[in-house]
Chains A and B, each alone.
Chain A
Amino acid sequence: MRGRGGAGFPTGMKWGFVPKDSPKPKYVVCNADESEPGTFKDRYLMERDPHMLIEGMLIAAYALGARTNYVYTRGEYRYLIEIMDVALEEARAAGLLGENILGSNFSSEIYTHTGAGAYICGEETALLNSLEGLRGHPRMKPPFPAVAGLYGCPTVVNNVETLTAVPDIIKMGGEAWQKLGTEKSGGTKVWSVSGHVKRPGVYELPMGYDDMEKFIHEDCQGMLGGRKLKAVIPGGSSVYIMPASDIEGKDVRMDYEGLVAAGSMVGSGGFIVMDETVDVFESTKNLTEFYKHESCGWCTPCREGTDWLVKVFKRIEAGEGRPDDAQLLLDIVDNIEGKSFCPLGDAASWPIQSAIKKFPEDFRRKVSNGNGAGNTKEGLPTA
């Protein structure tokens, strides 16, 4: 199973990196710092079935020999900690948690922990720093957390959706679970649908669901107010934006390969649907402001770059657009993408690159409305 947090790293391989013979204690940490804009599946899973998460964590703890485990929940979800704590108490009372679980010689404890409002703490090494009581700056990798994670000990960090799938995988057998999806993208994916559809919410679909157009117009009951679809951000705010023309009549399969082929990514599955009333310049500015605010300040390309991006967006919006502003944005992005310390820089870059490429009109209109009008060298691709 590929991790469902966003990066899609194979979970079994991650567990396999934990050294078996390490004399240090081992930790399983559940990443419930669900902060990617448009994503709320983990909240739903913990709210409705906390025991499924506890079971998944204990299986992981048993497999890895971890005695202590933490659920790192984002600060805004602190009410979920109350739900989790009750469920943990129930599990303890049933002999499923704590010392000598079910009379065996396996003992393991799960504790809840709260973040306090920082997107970056969803990055696993920043999460570990935060859990150690530090600022949530990411750490240099390698060493990877599997070797030196929490308190320098072998640690596995997995997303809520990943861990809640573990009991089903064990129960059904890996092969049967894999077959729920496609050969390359096994199992199911939980999507968080928001925006201009009649029925937003949390949807669990088999990987390879066919196809995105049907999903929007049938499962989500179509667009609000009967307006036209303009764009979808299918995998949380940092993935490439998809114009309606890349979805309608295009048979986009909803899995890792299908979305890459269609020019985007599964990411966290935060499926944001936008209708024709949305200006993609404005939506991209909104996301860029988010990344600027959430840049942790640790590395220069991301800290300074996101700040400059917002400055350019604001200047364009104030009617002072210049002919080469789109190119300027792309140039700044070029100095962030792949050059930042952690993936937040990439996450800030991709929405801008794809928005300018796919919706040049929305940028052109803003720029040419500015006092830099009459632009012939506007640096925009012709759609």
Chain B
Amino acid sequence: MSQQFTPNNPLPQGAKVPTEIAVFSPEVEAEVDRHLAKYPVKRSAILPLMFIVQRERGGWLDPPGVAYLADRLGVRITDIWEVATFYSMINTEPVGKYHLQVCKTLSCKIMGAGMVTAKCSERLGIKPGQTSAKSSAGCRRTRSSPRSKSLLCAGAAARASRRG
């Protein structure tokens, strides 16, 4: 297995960049092609393709997945990371198998987002930002730590309000 390196955990200076490239099934390749066909410029497909790679590579953009994206989109690896680190739904670090996010922006906060987070923590035995070893569920309270990327307002405020 190649060394795991991410934007927050870069390779030591002078180290050789692993050249392993992720390989996907013909079905996934076809899905990638469908997205690439939508745009006159390949790079436009970067976010849709990141979601596919993330789904296929265990929930995050691992280095072989990043290399695949760079190859398919005809851009550099740094271009991939430049974009990946901007968007909170793209994971550049490993996450749990089940990634729970609880919105805590105003509408949801005043309707009890804190109780939802507390209940999740209690049931899973982990705090926001942690990953449980047993069920491989990660619980991330939005904006819980400086590094945590978060789900802010998810446009579900009306549902949040229907609690009783």
Residues of A within 8 A of B (CB): 34-40, 42-43, 68, 70, 74-78, 111, 113-119, 130-136, 151, 192-197, 200-202, 224, 233, 237, 270, 272, 274, 277-278, 283, 286-287, 289-290, 293-294, 296
- Would A118 and B88 count as touching, CB distance under 8 A? yes
In B138-164, the 8 Å CB interface with A consists of 143, 149-158, 160-162, 164
- What DSSP secondary structure best describes chain A's contact surface? mixed
Select B47's contact among A34, A39, A77, A133, beta carbons within 8 Å: A133
Interface residue B50 (Cβ < 8 Å from any Cβ of A):
yes
Contacts of B48 in A (CB 8 A): 113-114
Q: B47 touching A116 by the CB < 8 A rule?
A: yes
Specify which chain B residues have a CB less than 8 angstroms from the CB of A233 in the assembled complex. 106
Contact string against A for B residues 70-86, beta-carbon threshold 8 Å, 1 for contact and 0 otherwise = 00010000000011001
Interface-located stretch among B4-12, B24-32, B37-45, B118-126: B37-45
**When chains A and B are docked, how far (Å) is the Cα of A151 from the Cα of B95?**
34
CB-CB under 8 A from A195, the residues of chain B are 107, 110-111, 157, 161
- Residues on the A chain within 8 Å of B87, using CB: 75, 115-118, 136
Known A114-B48, A133-B46; contact A194-B107, beta-carbon cutoff 8 A: yes
Q: How far does the alpha carbon of A28 sit from the alpha carbon of B40 in the complex, in Å?
A: 15
Beyond A70-B38, A290-B105, 14 additional contacts (C-beta under 8 Å) are A40-B156, A114-B48, A116-B51, A116-B90, A131-B44, A132-B43, A133-B43, A133-B47, A134-B43, A192-B158, A194-B161, A197-B161, A233-B106, A290-B153
Out of B105, B149, B161, which one reaches A286, CB within 8 Å?
B105
| Best-surrounded residue of B105, B151, B156 (most CB of chain A within 10 A) | B105
8 A–B pairs (Cβ distance < 8 Å), ordered by A: A39-B155, A40-B158, A116-B47, A118-B86, A136-B86, A272-B157, A286-B104, A290-B105
In the bound complex, do residue A135 and residue B82 qualify as a contact, i.e. CB atoms below 8 Å apart?
Answer: yes
B154, A76: Cβ atoms under 8 Å? Answer: yes
Residues of B within 8 A of A115 (CB): 47, 87
Known contacts A116-B87, A133-B44, A200 near B106 by CB under 8 Å: no
Minimum Cβ distance to chain A for residue B55 (Å)? 11
Q: Please indicate the chain A residues that have their CB under 8 angstroms from the CB of B82 in the complex.
A: 135
Min Cβ gap A7→B in Å is: 18
Which of the residues B40, B83, B150, B160 comes within 8 Å of A151, measured between beta carbons?
Answer: B40
In the assembled complex, which residues on chain A have CB atoms less than 8 Å from the CB atom of B38?
Answer: 70, 111, 113
Of B50, B152, B162, the most chain A CB neighbours within 10 A belong to B152
Give the complex CA separation of A39 and B158 in angstroms.
9
On chain B, the number of residues with a Cβ less than 8 Å from chain A's Cβ atoms is 43
Among A117, A197, A287, contact of B89 (Cβ-Cβ < 8 Å): A117
**Residue B127 at the chain A interface, CB threshold 8 Å:** no
Q: How far is the CA of A113 from the CA of B44 in the complex (A)?
A: 9
Is B109's CB within 8 Å of the partner chain A? yes
Which residue in chain A gives the minimum CB-CB distance to B101?
A76
Point out the residues of chain B lying under 8 angstroms from A43, CB to CB.
155
**CB–CB A193/B143 < 8 A:** no
Bound CA span A70–B43, Å? 15
Q: Are B83 and A75 in contact (CB under 8 A)?
A: no
The complex places the Cα of A274 from the Cα of B111 at a distance, in Å, of 10
Is the CB–CB distance between A134 and B83 below 8 Å?
yes
Docked Cα-Cα span, A290 to B110, in Å, equals 15
Alpha-carbon separation in the docked complex, A192 to B106 (Å): 14
Q: Which residues of A sit under 8 angstroms from B44, Cβ to Cβ?
A: 113, 131-133
Partner of A74, one of B51, B109, B155, B158: B155
Nearest residue, chain B, Cβ from A225: B164
Among A37, A224, A287, max chain B CB count under 10 A is at: A37
In contact, A272 and B106 (Cβ under 8 angstroms): yes
Please tell me if the beta carbons of A38 and B106 are within 8 angstroms of each other in the complex: yes
Query: Chain A residues near B86 (CB, 8 Å)?
Result: 118, 135-136, 296
A37 CB contacts on chain B under 8 angstroms:
105-107, 152-153, 157
Tell me if B88 and A200 are in contact (CB < 8 A).
Answer: no
> Are A133 and B158 in touch, CB under 8 angstroms?
no
Q: In the complex, are the beta carbons of B106 and A116 less than 8 A apart?
A: no
User: Which A residues are in CB contact (< 8 Å) with B155?
Assistant: 34-35, 39-40, 42-43, 74, 76-77
Bound complex: CA A283 to CA B160 (Å):
17
- Residue pair A202, B158 in contact (C-beta under 8 Å): yes
Taking the closest CB of chain A, its distance from the CB of B148, in whole angstroms, is: 10
Q: How far is A74 from B154 in the complex, measured between Cα atoms in Å?
A: 9
In the assembled complex, how far is the CB of residue A330 from the closest CB belonging to chain B, in whole angstroms? 21
Tell me the nearest residue of chain A to B40, going by C-beta: A151
Give the residues in chain B near A293, CB-CB below 8 Å: 143, 150, 152
List of B residues within 8 angstroms of A35 by Cβ = 152-153, 155
Q: Are B158 and A286 in contact (CB under 8 A)?
A: no
Residues in A with CB closer than 8 Å to B162 are 200
Residue in contact with B160 in the complex, picked from A194, A224, A270, CB distance below 8 Å? A194
Residue of chain A at shortest CB distance from B83: A135
CB pair B107 A76 closer than 8 Å: no
Check B152 against A192 for contact (C-beta < 8 Å).
Answer: no
Chain B residues with CB under 8 A of A135: 82-83, 86
